[in-house]
Amino acid sequence: EVPFGLPVRSFSSFNEAADEAAISRMYGGIHYRAAVEVGVKQGRDLGKFVVEKLKMKNNNLK
């Protein structure tokens, strides 16, 4: 982005960056809002699932 004269982006959290990335796909005409909302929910659900599996695996190693 910087080589094209756009400012450096910064976010206060990973979720904030993910939300902006998701909504940008709607603004770009790639997805409808419903698809963006479903995709964000699926991504967060998958993240929670992976974290829980890693916690379970870590607990089994103790």
The one-letter code for the residue type at 21 is A
In the chain, the largest separation of any two C-alpha atoms, in whole Å, equals 51
Asked if residue 56 has pLDDT above 90, the reply is no
Residue 15 has a pLDDT of 92
Q: State mean pLDDT over 36-51.
A: 95
Asked if residue 62 has pLDDT above 70, the reply is no
Residue 5 has a pLDDT of 87
pLDDT one-digit tens code per residue, 2-41 = 788 888 889 999 999 999 999 999 999 999 999 999 999 9
Q: What is the distance between the alpha carbons of residues 35 and 23, in angstroms, rounded to a whole number?
A: 10
Q: State mean pLDDT over 55-59.
A: 79
| Domain ranges across the chain | 2-61
